Amino acid sequence: MAKDITSRSQDYSQWYIDIVLKTGLADYSAVKGCMIIKPYGFAIWELMHDALDKMFKDTGHVNAYFPLFIPKSFLSKEAAHIEGFAKECAVVTHYRLKNADDGSGVIVDPEAKLEEELIVRPTSETIIWDAYRGWIQSYRDLPLLINQWANVVRWEMRTRLFLRTAEFLWQEGHTAHATRQEAEAETLTMLNIYERFAVEWMSLPVLKGVKTENERFAGAVDTYCIEALMQDGKALQAGTSHFLGQNFAKAFEVQFSTKDNTLEYVWATSWGVSTRLMGALVMAHSDDDGLVLPPKLAPTQVVIVPIPKLLPELDEAIGKLEKELKGLGIRVKVDKDDQNRPGFKFAEYEKLGIPVRIAIGARDLAAGTIEVARRDTKEKTNIPLDGIANYIDNLLGEIQRNLYNRALIFREENTTSVDTWQEFVDVIEHKGGFVSAHWDGSTETELLIKEETKATIRCIPMSNSSEPGNCIRTGKPSKQRVLFAVAY
C-alpha cells in the first residue's frame, strides 16, 4: 500500500481523493467547485478526446464551436429544459468593473448592467437550435451532425473532483434530422459509440439502457445511457444520448421544407460525455497502491528503469529497446534520473498507474533477460531480451483485456436479482451493486424507493427480456425488471 494513499477499506472516498490529488490528476482551485485538471490528468483526457473525436468523425460528425453564453430567455423556451437547469447556473449580469469611489478597491460598475442576463452554458441545446433556425431551410440541409468540445457550468453545491464539479469539460453532439426514424437511429449510434469507447479504451463494462421519465434529460423524449459499476458498489452514469423529438425545433421554430414541399419541424438528438469519465476510470481499476490505467489511456505505457542507474554499459541496450518500442507506437519513458533509488521509483510508477515497468541492470543484460512488471497483477517475470518489444506490445493488449475482464467479473458478482422488498433493502444496504428488480412503472414509486433507500433506477436495460412480475415496493404488476443502484 502506498504510504500517502488511504486504503479503500479504510475510507473509499478519501482513497479516491488521495489518488486524484497525489498522482497529479487534478487539484482544487481558489474558485469553489471548480477544479484544475493537472498535466497528468489532462494527458489522459487528451487520449480520451482523441479516441472519441476519431469515432465521431468516422461516423460523419464534424466539430464546431458555439457561444459560452446563453441569453436567459432562451433557457425558458423549452419548458422542461428551464426546470432542469435554472436551479444551478452561473449568471452574468454586468460587463465591467471600476475603481470604487472610496478607494476601497475594484467593484462591479452598476452602470454596466446587461439588459438581459446571460447564463454560462450548462448545456447548449438552446443556443445551438437558435443557430440551426438560420442554417436549416430544406431537407437538403439535413442531417446536421455537429459536435462541440467545450466547458460547461452547473452550480453544484456538493462537488467531488471529476465526478461533480461546477465547471467541467465535455463534448456535446447536437444533430438535426428530417425524420424521427433517422434521429432515433442516431441516438442509438452514439450510444453504441460510447459503449465501444468504454469497453475498448477504458476497459470498462457498461450497461446500455433507457432512463425512466424521472431521470430523463430536461427536454428529451428519451434518454439513453451507459451505466458502470464502481468498486464501492455504486453506479456511475458514464454517458447519455438523448432523442429530443421535435421539442427544441418547436421551441426555436426550426422548420424545413420536405421533398414534397411541405414544412415540418426538424428532429433532434444530443449526446455527451464529460471529464466525469476520468473519475470513472480512476474508480473502476485503481487499487491501494495508486492508479491503474488501461494501456490505451496511459500517457506513458512503459517505463524503463535502469538498475541501479543509467550506467554507460546499459545506455546502448536501453536506447535500442526504447527505439523498438516507439517503433511499435508504444509510449515509453526511460527514467534517466540518478538521484532516487530503484525501489522509490518503482513505488512512484506504481502510484501513477504505468501499465508496464521494465527493470534492467548490467547483470540482466549479461544473462540476456530483463524484468517485466505488470501494474494490473503486480506480477514480475524475467523475459528474454530477444523479441522483447513484441512481447511488451502483446502484454499491453493483455493488460487492457484483463482490466476489462476483472471489472466485468466484479460487476457480475455485484449484480443481484431480487424479488422482495426485504431482499432489496438488504442488498442495497449491505452488498451494494446493481439490483435487478420489478417496478410498477410509476414515478411516485421510483421516488419513494429513492427516499427510503437512496437507490435510483439507473436504467431499463436494453438487453431486457420482458418478464411479468410484481413491483418490489408496491406489489403492483410489472412487465420487466429494471436496474437499481445507489449512484454517484
Who contacts 189 (Cβ-Cβ below 8 Å, separation ≥6)? Answer: 59
Q: How far is the CB of 90 from a second copy (least distance, A)?
A: 5
Radius of gyration, CA atoms only, the chain: 26
| Near a second copy by CB under 8 A: residue from 2, 19, 44, 70 | 70
If binding is defined by CB under 8 A, does position 136 make contact with a second copy?
A: no
CA distance 433 to 422: 16
Answer whether the bond into residue 461 is a cis peptide, omega within 30°.
no
- The DSSP bridge partners found for residue 243 are 222, 269
Spatial contact of 442 and 478, defined as CB atoms under 8 Å apart: no
If binding is defined by CB under 8 A, does position 137 make contact with a second copy?
A: no
Kindly identify the residues of this chain, within the stretch 352-371, that bind a second copy according to CB under 8 A: none
Pull the grid cell for residue 257. Answer: 421544407
Q: How far is the CB of 438 from a second copy (least distance, A)?
A: 37
Residue bearing cell 489532462: 42
Kindly identify the residues of this chain, within the stretch 147-176, that bind a second copy according to CB under 8 A: 150-151, 153, 155, 167, 169
- What's the DSSP call for residue 293? -
Q: How far is the CB of 99 from a second copy (least distance, A)?
A: 8
CA distance 365 to 363: 5
If binding is defined by CB under 8 A, does position 388 make contact with a second copy?
A: no
Q: How far is the CB of 24 from a second copy (least distance, A)?
A: 9
Q: How far is the CB of 151 from a second copy (least distance, A)?
A: 6
CA distance 7 to 289: 8
Provide the sign of the torsion angle of the four alpha carbons 326, 332, 336, 342, taken in this order: negative
If binding is defined by CB under 8 A, does position 470 make contact with a second copy?
A: no
| Near a second copy by CB under 8 A: residue from 35, 191, 373, 395 | 35
User: Phi first, then psi: what are they for 48, rounded to 5°?
Assistant: -60, -50
Q: How far is the CB of 346 from a second copy (least distance, A)?
A: 20
Residue closer to a second copy, measured from CB, 67 or 441: 67
If binding is defined by CB under 8 A, does position 283 make contact with a second copy?
A: no
Half-sphere exposure of 80 toward its Cβ, with a 13 Å CA cutoff?
14
Q: How far is the CB of 36 from a second copy (least distance, A)?
A: 5
CA distance 42 to 169: 11
| Near a second copy by CB under 8 A: residue from 11, 13, 54, 95 | 95
| Near a second copy by CB under 8 A: residue from 3, 102, 103, 105 | 105
Task: With H, G, I as helix, E, B as strand and everything else as coil, classify residue 409.
Answer: helix
Residue closer to a second copy, measured from CB, 298 or 457: 298
Pull the grid cell for residue 112. Answer: 454596466
Span from 10-18, 98-106, 307-315, 374-382 in contact with a second copy (CB under 8 A)? 98-106
Alpha-carbon torsion angle 286, 287, 289, 290, nearest 10: 20
If binding is defined by CB under 8 A, does position 75 make contact with a second copy?
A: yes
Please report which helix (H) or strand (E) contains residue 47, including its range.
Answer: helix 39-58
Q: How far is the CB of 19 from a second copy (least distance, A)?
A: 18
- What's the DSSP call for residue 429? I
If binding is defined by CB under 8 A, does position 73 make contact with a second copy?
A: yes
User: Phi first, then psi: what are they for 88, rounded to 5°?
Assistant: -140, 60
Residue closer to a second copy, measured from CB, 98 or 320: 98
If binding is defined by CB under 8 A, does position 282 make contact with a second copy?
A: no
| Near a second copy by CB under 8 A: residue from 54, 98, 341, 401 | 98
Query: Binders of a second copy: how many residues, by CB under 8 A?
Result: 64
Binding site for a second copy (CB under 8 A): 27, 29-31, 34-39, 41-43, 45-46, 62-76, 82, 86-99, 105-106, 108, 117-120, 127, 130-131, 134-135, 146, 150-151, 153, 155, 167, 169
